Structure 1
């Protein structure tokens, strides 16, 4: 059976503003100092999928930069440009339809573009197990990650821990909990973090989209019927922006779990969702004062801060627990423990019509 990799790379990365912008979001940045996040994701996928079978789904606005960034790594024709952001059910359904109609059925591995994986060999082994499982069974397979702390920012997967196999039945998906609930989840030993990584046959996800969200499937089918015809792009541009917005979790995974159609492989691969500036210590080792200083930065008597310079000299004296970011056209300062709220700045700029800063 054919194997395909699909990397979802259409997000805006707004919590990494002002470095992350609409045309060059987080996945197109080199935050680790090693390579662009998208290229790191491609290399991880390439441990189990031939590069000719790796696809990237991105926003139409980002597609030119994505083609340039992945030159020599991903075929330009395998970079699928969404005319509008319609959440993950549409994104994954579009990729499945593209693969099924143009290349034939096969197992898809679907991952986000912007995660950090410390132990790539461990993830590779999980992928191999998941591929074999998806080949043998008409089930959805997801990867659960061993919780390392009672996170309130991640969704959770409850699974049958009495099953001794590496692949376990999913009982239900849980939304982001409060801290007390998260502690109970971890103490029970029956929960994993929801990684947003999925493995299944292209035909199976299309079948279940038709069953659970027939309106979305009908739109995807219109796009699929136009594939390999002169009107393909026109139909995509006409239909896709009107697809209903809903996540793959709500659309398919939750109802499928209730029917016993979802399996999870709990694993530990040093995963982290590097979602905002306060998470930079995942990618960089803080100095003796707990600071992460990137670029031309001088920090005196300062502690536990993230300071980033893209060009200008940034100096700080006697500050603690701050994020300071300088780019060519903007400076952003916030409390480190409020870094998630950087998105509010993007929202405010958008409302003010400051498109040049987005």
Structure 2
């Protein structure tokens, strides 16, 4: 039986730089365009391959400067379905424009939105969860896919799950921003919480209807741009209207207020999911046994009194002496030396270099 879900359009917002993966990830070369694990496929290529069996239509929303690289990496996505934004306006503007454009072209559809830079090894389990979420969304709920927590992480938001609705879907009681360690540990101890990975499934008319109430300026602007997108006035309308759209995340614009009204459901997922947000998580994914990890290079990596280094890029042999969990990264632009425990601080590296 075909895996395609009737009336489902997949939207892939491809934005963000991935500043904690500097200098690999740069404004001109964001994380989703990289083959981080050395598998031969970039993150956006993995994402398109994972969602394509679910829906005959895939729409990618990305920045104008990244559009040529995206088109080159995923030629199976029609050029007309590559939607470019002239400047970042956060996730709600991108998703709203995609929803309005879908309605302009194909009428009301179920829309599933998944980030371009996440890693999900079990594609079949992912697709089974999305099919369940799409079924729940047909009834008019905004549906979020909740990831089963593996630890009390402070890097993700949390979803408090309530009573069952139908099938695997449950009411969302509330969303919690990234908590401190004590709060996260308490959530896991109580149970009934899932990580919020930013995966949303909903009917386009439901999403735009909520936006009409909660963010009317953004909703009207997205509809105006979408109405002009396939015509001769696209550039004029986009240049005039896009900068006026409210800069807000979908979590704050839709998920949180609609959940307070009882309009959001969650489908819990048990598949393995990774944000690949920094070099510590990259090292864990690449070599869980604790040995040396070498990515994107052929030259030797050796250690003297050191364990578990991560060495990425570069053409010369690297020796790590006396530093456990070292991270050495070389790109065309710069060399980074740090340790895995400081991986979250790498986001400040580019600024530090600019001030040097």
Q: TM-score range by the shorter chain?
A: over 0.9
Number of the residue aligned with 1:90: 93
> How many residue pairs get matched?
347
Number of the residue aligned with 2:12: 7
Q: Within the alignment, does 1:16 sit opposite 2:21 as a pair?
A: yes
Deviations 1:67-112 (A, max 9, x none): 11112x2112211111000001101001111111122210011000
Q: Within the alignment, does 1:33 sit opposite 2:38 as a pair?
A: yes
Deviations 1:154-198 (A, max 9, x none): 000001156684100000000111111111111111100001100
Number of the residue aligned with 1:344: 348
Distance 1:165 1:220 in 2: 33
* TM-score with structure 2 setting the length: 0.93
Distance 1:199 1:268 in 2: 17
Deviations 1:247-287 (A, max 9, x none): 00101110100011000011111011111111113431245
Number of the residue aligned with 1:317: 321
Deviations 1:210-244 (A, max 9, x none): 11011211221221332332111221122213322
Deviations 1:98-152 (A, max 9, x none): 11112221001100011111222111110111111112x1110110011110001
Q: Within the alignment, does 1:215 sit opposite 2:217 as a pair?
A: yes
Give the direction of change, closer, same or farther, for the CA distance of 1:101–1:117 in structure 2 (3 Å limit).
Answer: same
Number of the residue aligned with 2:291: 290
Distance 1:347 1:264 in 2: 38
User: Any conservation in 2 of the 1:86–1:244 contact (CA below 8 Å)?
Assistant: yes
Give the direction of change, closer, same or farther, for the CA distance of 1:88–1:303 in structure 2 (3 Å limit).
Answer: same
Of 63, 66, 69, the residue aligned with 1:62 is 66
Q: Within the alignment, does 1:252 sit opposite 2:238 as a pair?
A: no
User: Any conservation in 2 of the 1:297–1:309 contact (CA below 8 Å)?
Assistant: no
Of 208, 220, 240, the residue aligned with 2:242 is 240
Distance 1:201 1:207 in 2: 10
Give the direction of change, closer, same or farther, for the CA distance of 1:163–1:213 in structure 2 (3 Å limit).
Answer: closer
SS in 2 for 1:272: coil
User: Any conservation in 2 of the 1:140–1:198 contact (CA below 8 Å)?
Assistant: yes
**What is the deviation of 1:307?**
1.2
User: Any conservation in 2 of the 1:311–1:327 contact (CA below 8 Å)?
Assistant: no
SS in 1 for 2:65: coil
Any residues of structure 2 matched to 1:1-358 within 5 Å, and which?
Answer: 2-34=7-39, 35-50=41-56, 53-71=57-75, 73-135=76-138, 137-160=139-162, 165-286=167-288, 289-294=290-295, 295=297, 296-301=299-304, 302-349=306-353
Unmatched tracts of structure 2, length 5 or more: 1-5
Distance 1:178 1:252 in 2: 24
Give the direction of change, closer, same or farther, for the CA distance of 1:47–1:300 in structure 2 (3 Å limit).
Answer: same
Distance 2:83 2:311 in 1: 35
User: Any conservation in 1 of the 2:162–2:170 contact (CA below 8 Å)?
Assistant: yes
Give the direction of change, closer, same or farther, for the CA distance of 1:100–1:347 in structure 2 (3 Å limit).
Answer: farther
User: Any conservation in 1 of the 2:309–2:320 contact (CA below 8 Å)?
Assistant: no
